[in-house]
Structure 1
């Protein structure tokens, strides 16, 4: 569990006539991580297989049609049908033409409905003015404007200044002030200037004259409603046809998309190979325990017409993919490594360490039996509903809830109420003891990180570098502790101060030798990182105080009769719900920070290459 799964490098060389069979077999095995070939003078990059372009074109059309029909391709996959690209092209092209036609008809119907509805709204406004539609036809010397205005009374007074050359009508409709003006063409500019200053907004009614509409607005409203209804029926009919098409084709489209995606991946695989005019070369990795089976399967597939070379990997190679090797429940905590960065192949995988300490820190901070039971119930329910990556997180959080319950028992806290004498410490009254515990946990955690870092350096660069880069910090801590003891009565007899100063001086030399000036600058950081674990005390104390305040306020309300009891009960529910919500977020973030910043920086480089076997479902980053 502390190391990624062991990998073997496998190189395959063979004639191009065997390329598809090898690709197909590797795809079915789903264990071979292909290393992309970089073009050199001696070895070119391979070319896609023959039908790659056709498959890509069909896939584009399938996805376009599926998107239009709102088909969830993944949920309808069966994976059983073998899809022929040429046959799929014919079917999809026919379907695409039908979809294009229906799409055009649907857009036409919706456009008509939109335009007719806009006209209907205008005619309904005109109805309020009690004018026939022919009043809005074209005149030789007369013009008109129709729209809405902010203040219709004041505009009437201003229009009187035009000495009868302008007549206006006003009406109210849907909370708006409607205004229609008829005026001599010669004063159009003056009219427009006056009404613009009064907040006039013109409504275009030119379609009345253009289409020669006549009669009462109510008659035209009836006609428009009939037209809208006809286009609505057409729209519904087209949507029903599209729904029928979706119901009939979604299974085929899902299978076709999946199978052709597989074929596309196979067809484009040679782009990752090295190639000559007659041969191909594939380089990659497989888990060592599967290497023999892969070699045997490839030889059987090619009738031993290929050459396969298997090598043990050099841990210092940068291109080795990383496959974490953690059975559940430890594997649930791989979610945190995906969130951060994967370890390099030669590094210790810290997932197991997070499995041990993340719930510990979380429980130490939240530490309440009641809160732990609530969050445990919540995560057990979510576990049945959430799968995939976030499902791993939910499963990981189940263990934090269990830790919360355990620490709640040790702290004797049940929804903020202390039911018996605490087994561990009273968090509210013994803050000094709680602080010492938190910092002590930090010192142990940081030093575990340094020891893991020592092991990593030992594997990577040898004993001497490991001593100077990692063990030197432990020597520094020993010197500081010895110096502190020389000024206290903690042990008797007191050690002499020069002993502590000597060890500190030696450690500083070692740090400089191992990490240079950068190491000297970071000397204060090692102690600030330990003190940073005081947040374990602070976050937990805040939760305790908030719970106590909620309980005290609610307790006071219970003495106020029925209303007080109801209010107090409501306050308890709301207050503790808020505290639990904060308890889910704050301990999570602080525990995560202590691992990523204070702990990982002591030993972890990260930046590992994710193991992505050819043919396997793509894992989200």
Structure 2
């Protein structure tokens, strides 16, 4: 549990003739993390096998078809497809050939392509019709027959839009007395049609230009007669038919896709697996006659790998197992039981341990929920968050590990809620409202007199610790109890991290380094503790012992960690004080809950009537916000205490994940 999976490095040498069988076996086993070969003088890089280019081409086509499909495939349907595919593969018959897949994909692709070409033609035609309608709409505002705009030898016609018409008629009269002017407002544009003596065509155009005239070309009406409105109506009708035709074709395309979507997903899964197999040799080394495969596998699975490969090659294979080199980067596979496994999420979020390091997942499992629960610490909030995480776990299966971990946090929130006697921020209920119920059900609540501006008797919930008002005397100062508990937790947590650091250093660099770099901190704490207790008169041991231990520890720290260790000495105090947030965050949460209950909701509740509904609304909204803050705040603070204060003295991380060949395409874990 505290160690990652033990790994062995293996080198496989096999004839190219048996390469395909070896690749298939390794892919099915899903236990070998292949190390990519770098080209050397002795060994070249391997080449893909089979029809890798054709597989890649078909994958691109299928992915394109599926990505454009509106048809949604549920996770359950995909799981069913995957199970079917895995079953056929495990029985040795995938059920597909590249020829079959290519024929089907080409058939679907051709149908879709032909229909899309028709859609493109419809779109082009519809675009022209829309443009024509816009032009006719300009003319329609003038209420003139289209024949009026035909070319005449003696009359010039200008149609378009102008900015305004003030003074236009007077300007034209200065140029010619022979003209006819029509104007009309068309939405934002002022439309103008000017019929003028052709001899004065240029002069009239110059006048129009003074009004920002934008001319409408009239060549589009050559074959049109009558009013523009009749043509607009006709074109709109044709446009609607084209839209209906286009929608029918789109629906037909989706029908084609939906009929073939399941088989296309099966093809995609099959081809993804075949592509991974075909391209696997790119990570191998090769000679003219053989291939060399190097990789990492769990030590307990090496015998199984050897047995399987020898069977498929008739013992014509060489498999050499070597122990990891001290400085070699070994892929990391975490090894935790089902209870701890959800907390691996926090390691994947941060960084995986190296091969020689302790895996902190177990310690996060122990302390993260406790820290979270201590900060939230309310029975009502714990139940509410538990229900929320249960619902989210069903809605978001991909986040199941995180949500399982958060459910554990909710359980601890409920437990600490009982210890603090807090239920949605309520520490008591008023006697006049709840006395009958409490006495009838014989609830273990005791009466308490609350003194203040208005003294009253209440029933308090049983508790072990009064979070809001519980105090303890520390060196003559009254300090909130939960803050003191937070500091005590910090001392234990940091000392645990020092112990784990000692173990890591011992495993990685030997006992001497472990003593100097990590055990020195315990000597430092003992020496400092003696000095502090002696100065307070709490012990009779000579102060020189404490000073001697303090000096010795500083020297040890310097020898073990260098100047960096000396610089970190003050941080042990700040790190310990950081754990005060365990109490402070909880106090802020319960303080807000009390304000919501006593200052905002209860005054309305006591008025009765419609005000009760307002009070309930305030409680729902207020506690909803506080629960949201109660999830975010404790989560971030708890994770910070682990990633910073806890990991600082024993954990470096930087491990690369174990990615066995075959696991990605199958979306499976290592086969057993």
Same fold (TM over 0.5): yes
Alignment of 1:11-22 (within 5 A): 11-22=11-22
Q: Distance in 1 between matches of 2:218 and 2:375?
A: 72
Partner of 1:286: 297
Unaligned runs of at least 5 residues, structure 1: 150-154, 197-201
Local SS of the residue matching 1:308: strand
Partners of 1:137 and 1:209 within 8 A in 2: no
Deviates more, 1:54-63 or 1:547-556: 54-63
Partner of 1:324: 334
**SS at 1:321's partner residue?**
coil
Distance 2:112 2:470 in 1: 73
Structure 2 equivalent of residue 506 of structure 1: 552
1:88 equivalent in alignment to 2:88: no
Task: Please state if 1:605 is matched with 2:652.
Answer: yes
1:8 aligned to 2:21?
no
Task: Please tell me whether the aligned partners of residues 499 and 518 of structure 2 are also in contact (alpha carbons under 8 angstroms).
Answer: yes
Picking from 396, 412, 418, the partner of 2:427 is 418
Displacement of 1:60 in angstroms is: 1.6
The structural deviation recorded for 1:4 is 0.8
Matches within 5 A, 1:255-334: 255-314=266-325, 316-334=326-344
- Mean Cα displacement is larger for which, 318-327 or 477-486? 477-486
**Equivalent of residue 432 in structure 1, options 475, 480, 492:** 480
Q: Do the aligned partners of residues 235 and 479 (structure 1) sit closer, same or farther apart at CA in structure 2, a change above 3 Å counting?
A: same
The aligned counterpart of 1:576 is 623
- Could you state the TM-score of these two structures normalised by the residue count of structure 1? 0.90
From 378, 381, 390, the equivalent of 2:391 is 381
Secondary structure of the structure 2 residue equivalent to 1:310 = strand
The separation in 2 between residues aligned to 1:192 and 1:333, in whole angstroms, is 77
Residue 181 of structure 1: CA displacement? 5.5
Contact 1:329 1:396 in 2 (8 A): no
Q: How many residues align?
A: 602
Which secondary structure state, in structure 1, belongs to the residue aligned with residue 9 of structure 2?
strand
Q: Give, in angstroms, the shift of residue 332 of structure 1.
A: 0.5
- Aligned 1:316-395 pairs, distance under 5 A: 316-388=326-398, 390-395=399-404
1:33–1:181 CA distance, 2 compared to 1 (3 A) = same
Give matches, 1:578-593, under 5 Å: 578-593=625-640
Q: Contact (CA 8 Å) 1:48, 1:268: kept in 2 or not?
A: yes
Deviation for aligned residue 1:30:
1.2
Cross-structure match for 1:238: 249
Stretches of structure 2 that go unaligned for 5 or more consecutive residues are 89-93, 196-200, 429-460, 472-478
Contact 1:299 1:305 in 2 (8 A): yes
Matches within 5 A, 1:18-57: 18-57=18-57
1:181-192 map, 5 Å: 182=194, 185-186=202-203, 188=205, 191-192=208-209
Q: Structure 1 residues 560, 16: CA separation in 2 closer, same or farther (over 3 Å shift)?
A: same
Separation of aligned partners in 2, 1:3 and 1:427:
42
**Aligned-residue CA RMSD in angstroms?**
2.6
* Greater Cα offset, 420-429 or 217-226: 420-429
1:253 correspondence with 2:264: yes
SS in 1 for 2:47: coil
Question: The residue matched to 1:434 in structure 2 has which SS?
Answer: helix
Tell me the secondary structure at the aligned position of residue 8 of structure 1.
strand
Alignment-derived partner of residue 615 in structure 1: 662
Cα offset, 1:43, TM superposition: 1.2
Superposed, which structure 2 residues align to 1:192-211 within 5 Å? 192=209, 194-195=211-212, 206=217, 209=220
2:438 aligned partner: none
Contact 2:71 2:258 in 1 (8 A): no
Partners of 2:368 and 2:508 in 1: CA distance? 27
Q: Deviations over 1:371-417 (max 9, x none)?
A: 000011111222233213x1111111110100110111111110101
Kept after mapping to 1: 8 A contact 2:70/2:254: no
Structure 1 residues 214 and 515, CA gap change in structure 2 (3 angstroms): farther
Alignment partner of 1:564 out of 608, 611, 625: 611
Q: Note the alpha carbon deviations across 1:305-341, whole angstroms, 9 max, x for none.
A: 1111123434x34331111111222101111111111
Partner of 2:475: none
- After superposition, the Cα gap between the structure-2 partners of 1:525 and 1:222, relative to the gap in structure 1 and judged at 3 Å, is same
Check whether the contact 1:321–1:610 (CA below 8 A) recurs between aligned residues: yes
Match of 2:449 in 1: none
Distance in 1 between residues matched to 2:142 and 2:272, nearest whole Å = 64
Match of 1:171 in 2: 185
Q: Is 1:396 aligned to 2:405, yes or no?
A: yes
CA shift in 2, pair 1:230/1:556, >3 Å: same
Q: Distance in 1 between matches of 2:64 and 2:421?
A: 61
What is the CA distance between 1:170 and its match in structure 2? 3.3
Give yes or no for contact 1:136–1:208 (8 Å, CA) kept in 2. Answer: no
Partner in structure 1 of residue 503 of structure 2: 455
Q: Does 1:215 align with 2:256?
A: no
Q: 1:156 to 1:38 in 2, by over 3 A?
A: same
Name the residue aligned to 2:63: 63
Instruction: Give yes or no for contact 2:150–2:222 (8 Å, CA) kept in 1.
Output: no
Work out the CA distance in 2 between the residues paired with 1:377 and 1:254. 35
Q: Give the aligned partner of residue 601 of structure 2.
A: 554
Are residues 1:466 and 2:466 paired? Answer: no
Shift of the 285–217 alpha-carbon distance from structure 1 to 2, 3 Å rule, reads same
Shift of 1:366: 0.7
SS in 1 for 2:40: coil
Structure-2 change in CA distance of 1:113 and 1:592 (3 Å): farther
Q: 1:185 to 1:230 in 2, by over 3 A?
A: farther
Q: Secondary structure at the match of 1:180?
A: strand
Q: Do the aligned residues in 1 keep the contact of 2:13 with 2:291 (CA within 8 Å)?
A: yes
SS in 2 for 1:281: strand
Q: Which moved more, 1:112-121 or 1:37-46?
A: 112-121
> Can you list the C-alpha shifts for 1:138-186, whole angstroms capped at 9, x where unaligned?
6874433237x6xxxxx3325355244694623364xx45543548554
Asked whether 1:488 is paired with 2:503, we answer no
1:127–1:424 distance in 2 versus 1, CA, 3 Å: same
Q: 1:515 and 2:561 equivalent? A: yes
SS in 1 for 2:314: coil
- Name the CA distance, whole Å, in 2 between partners of 1:283 and 1:250: 39
What's 1:199 paired with? none
Q: Assess, with a 3 A threshold, how the Cα gap between structure 1 residues 515 and 168 changes in structure 2: closer, same or farther.
A: farther
State the SS of the aligned residue for 1:303.
coil
- Conserved in 1, the CA contact under 8 Å of 2:501 and 2:518? yes
User: What secondary structure is seen at the aligned counterpart in 2 of 1:209?
Assistant: helix
- Give the corresponding residue for 1:152: none
Conserved 8 A contact 2:425-2:597: yes
- Contact 1:32/1:613 (8 A) holds in 2: yes
Report if aligned partners of 2:142, 2:182 keep a CA contact under 8 Å in 1: no
